[in-house]
Amino acid sequence: MLGGARLGDHRMKALVPLDGSELALSVLTNVRRLAELAPGLEVHLLTVLDPKAVHGRTDTVPGELTTTIPGSKISSVLSPAPRVVESHGEALERVHLEANEALQQVADRDLSGVATSCAVVFSSNPAEAIVEQANEWAADLIIMATHGRSGITHLLAGSVTEAVIKNAGKPVLVNCPKPD
C-alpha cells in the first residue's frame, strides 16, 4: 500500500540516526512528512557514541600544593592536581543516559503522535552500528543526513552516510544540506 505504512500485516519501520547536530536534526521534517503520508509508521531514533571519545570527569584537589627542591630552600606553588571523580565505565553510563534523554526529548518535541522508540549504542564505527541496528530492528528504510562534503575533505573524513548506503541493503533516504 503506497499511501499507508502497512504492507499486509507489516508496519513500515524507519531508522533515523541522529548525532545531535542541527544537520542531523534537519531530517526530522522529512520523517514527519513520511509519517503523515504513511500512517502507522514506526520510527526508531538512534544515536551512536564512540566509547573512545567518552572520558570520566575530573575535579581538582582543593587548596594549593607546594613542593620543595631537596637540599634547597626554594619551593614553588603547584596548581591543584586533577583527580578522577568518575571512571570510564561511569562516564559511559552517564553519557548513555544523557543521549537517551536527548533522543526522547526530540521524539516528544518533533515526532509527537508518531510511534517512536529510542536507542543509544556505543561503537567506533558509526556506519556499521547504524546498519546493524537497522537489521536488528528490521527497518524498511533508513533516513539520515549527510554533510555533503566533497573533494579532499571527503577523502580525509569519509562519509558515514556513504558507508551506510553501500552496506545497508535497504533504501536510505538522504537529507542534504542546502547550498550556501
Structure-model confidence comparison of residues 171 and 149, the more confident one: 171
C-alpha cell at 84: 578522577
Tens-digit pLDDT profile for residues 55-100: 776 555 555 555 555 555 555 555 565 665 678 888 899 999 999 9
- Per-residue model confidence (pLDDT) at position 3: 47
C-alpha cell at 74: 626554594
Structure-model confidence comparison of residues 151 and 103, the more confident one: 103
Considering the domain delimited by 6-56+87-175, tell me its CATH architecture. 3-Layer(aba) Sandwich (3.40)
- Per-residue model confidence (pLDDT) at position 11: 86
Tens-digit pLDDT profile for residues 116-146: 999 999 999 999 999 999 999 999 999 998 8
In this structure, are strands 82-84 and 75-78 parallel, antiparallel, or unpaired? unpaired
Angle 160-168/126-136 helices, nearest 10 degrees?
40
First-to-last C-alpha distance (Å) of the chain: 38
CA distances 168 to 30, 102, 154, Å, are: 20, 26, 20
Burial class from Cβ neighbours inside 10 Å (0-12, 13-18, 19+) for residue 109 reads exposed
- Per-residue model confidence (pLDDT) at position 44: 98
Predicted structure pTM score: 0.77
Query: How far is 129 from 122, CA to CA, in rounded Å?
Result: 8
In this structure, are strands 141-145 and 172-175 parallel, antiparallel, or unpaired? parallel
Tens-digit pLDDT profile for residues 5-39: 544 556 899 999 999 888 899 999 999 999 999 98
- Per-residue model confidence (pLDDT) at position 156: 47
What lies within 8 Å, CB to CB, of 33 at 6+ separation is: none
Domain ranges of the chain: 6-56+87-175
Residues paired with 115 in a beta bridge: 42
